[in-house]
Each structure stands twice: as C-alpha cells, then as structure tokens.
Amino acid sequence: MKSLLGKRKLKFVIEIKRKVMYTKAKRLGLTHPDVVKCSKELDVLLNKYHP
C-alpha cells in the first residue's frame, strides 16, 4: 500500500493536471490533440491512484 504522503502528492498532481486539461479544452476545444494528450496523461495518473 502506498504511503499517505505519496497518495496526497499524487492527488495534488491529479488536480493540477485536471485544471490544465480543462483550461486547454476551453481554449482549444475538446478534440484538440493537446487536450487529448493531457486527458491520457490524467488517465494514467488516475489509474495509479485507484489501482
């Protein structure tokens, strides 16, 4: 099991990535390659958080 500190750090990184993705989506549109890439990166982080 991951340490509490590790989980908190990962949760913080997830929240930052989510905000970045939302900002890009508002500016570029949901199907822009940068938004899709960010979404995939967020998926990886979420899978690490919830194995």
Unique residue bearing structure tokens 């905000």: 19
CB-based contact 11:49 (threshold 8 Å): yes
Domain boundaries, given as residue ranges, for the chain? 4-49
- Nearest CA to 17 out of 39, 48, 47, 34 is that of 39
Unique residue bearing structure tokens 């960010």: 38
* pTM for the structure as a whole: 0.86
Contacts by 4-8 with C-beta closer than 8 Å and gap 24+?
7/49
User: What is the per-residue pLDDT across 15-49, written as a single tens digit (0 to 9) for each?
Assistant: 999 999 999 999 999 999 999 999 999 999 999 99
How far apart CA 42 and CA 33 sit, in angstroms, is: 14
